[in-house]
Amino acid sequence: MLPDPHGVAVSSARPALDPAERAALRSAAQWYARLSSGIETESDRLGWQHWHNADPLHRRAWQQVQSIRQMVEGVPGDVAASALRQARESRRGSCASCCCWPGSAWWAGTAGTANGARR
């Protein structure tokens, strides 16, 4: 349960994803990582377009990944790095502190670095 601004507990539980939705989200996260790598090719972009257009589930999954990307980009680098460090130290892993979605490892690896930069 998460408190809202008025002190009322709000459930963070979401309905479980069915296997097709889970697969679409996993693919969307993989496409996002590939297209954000800085070394994507025209073939990658065409492959993504084909995947995106192939199924309404793919389009919904892509929208979810984009929504998460926008939220993550709003987190200051020092805050993100601190949260990720604490998560690693607590042995829960960085995904636990990054929304527990299939592409969170991408964000964990880029927090605190410039676009496309690696540590």
In order along its 119 residues, the chain shows pLDDT tens digits of 445 555 555 555 667 889 999 999 999 999 999 999 999 999 999 999 999 999 999 999 999 999 999 988 888 888 888 887 888 887 544 444 444 444 444 444 444 444 454 44
Other residues' Cβ atoms within 10 Å of the Cβ of residue 103: 24
What's the whole-model pTM score?
A: 0.57
